[in-house]
Amino acid sequence: MQFDHRGKTYELKVELAAGKGVEIIAEERRRQIVVEGWTPEHDAQHTDESIAYAAACYAIPHNGRNIFAGQGGLSDIFHLLWPWAKSWWKPSPDDRIKELAKAGALIAAEIDRLIAIGK
C-alpha cells in the first residue's frame, strides 16, 4: 500500500495472506502518518523507545489496566509505562480491535525506527 503525505511517498507492505488483522494495523499506521503526522522522520526522534511503551499500553486489556487502579482510574502499571502526557492517551474501551490496531501500528513504527538505525 502506497500513500503520499506532504509530498513524500510512503509504502506499507501488507502480506494479504496474513489475515485481516495485518490490514487493519497497516491502515491504522497509515492514519497515524497522514492524519496525525507521525512520520518515520518524527518517529526517529523517539530514541527512548517510548513508541514501544505506548504500544504496550494499548495492548493491555481494558480490565488489566485497572487491576491496580488508584484514584485516577488508571493503574500504577499504566503510569509506569505510558511515556507521554496523559492527554495523548486515547483509549477506545468499547472497541478492542481499534486499541489493538493502535498497538500494532505503534509496534510497526518502532520496528521501522530500529531498522532505520541498523538495529
In which band, very low, low, confident or very high, does the pLDDT at 10 lie, cut at 50, 70 and 90?
confident
Q: Please state the domain extents for the chain.
A: 2-116
Q: In 12-63, at which residue ranges do the beta strands (DSSP E only) sit?
A: none
Q: How far is CA 99 from CA 5, 63, 95, 103, in A?
A: 24, 13, 7, 6
pTM, to two decimals: 0.80
Q: What is the largest CA-CA distance in the chain?
A: 46
For 32-78, the pLDDT digits (tens) are 999 999 999 999 999 999 999 999 999 998 877 766 555 555 566 67
C-alpha cell at 38: 507521525
- For 109, residues 6+ apart whose C-beta sits below 8 A from its C-beta are 29, 32, 38, 40, 43, 51
pLDDT for 6 equals 75
H or E segment and range at residue 115 = helix 96-116
